[in-house]
Amino acid sequence: MFQTTRSASSTKRLLGAALICLGLVLAQGAAAQNWPSKPIEIIVPYAPGGIADNVARLIQPTMQTTLGTAVVVINKPGASGSLATEFVARANPDGYTLLLGLAAAQTLNQFVYSSVKYDGLKDFAPITLINTNPMALMVHPSLPVNTVKELIDYAKANPGKLNFSGAGGLTQYAGEIFKHRAGIDMQHVPYRGGAPAVTAAMAGEVQLTFANYSDALSAMKANRLRPIALTSAKRFPQTPDVPTIAESGLPGFEVEGWSALLAPAGTPKEVVEKLASAVREALNNPTVRKRFDDIGAVPGGNSPEEFTAFVASEIKKWGEFVKSTGIKPE
Q: Catalogue all structural domains in the chain, each as residue range(s) with its CATH number.
A: 39-132+256-325 (3.40.190.150), 135-248 (3.40.190.10)
Report the C-alpha gap between 277 and 48 in whole angstroms: 26
Q: What does the pLDDT look like over 274-286, one tens digit per residue?
A: 999 999 999 999 9
Q: Which residues contact 204 (CB under 8 A, 6 or more apart)?
A: 140, 142
Q: Is the pLDDT of residue 11 over 80?
A: no
What is the per-residue pLDDT for 18? 54
Q: Is the pLDDT of residue 167 over 70?
A: yes
Q: Which residues contact 128 (CB under 8 A, 6 or more apart)?
A: 260, 261, 275, 276, 279, 280, 300, 301, 302, 303, 304, 307
The conformation of residue 81, written as its DSSP 8-state character, comes to G
Q: Which helix or strand (DSSP H or E) is residue 234 part of?
A: none
What is the per-residue pLDDT for 198? 95
Q: What does the pLDDT look like over 40-67, one tens digit per residue?
A: 999 999 888 888 899 999 999 999 999 9
Lowest mean pLDDT of 12-26, 157-171, 200-214, 315-329, name the range. Answer: 12-26
Q: Which residue has the higher pLDDT, 114 or 72?
A: 72
User: What's the whole-number mean pLDDT along residues 234-238?
Assistant: 90
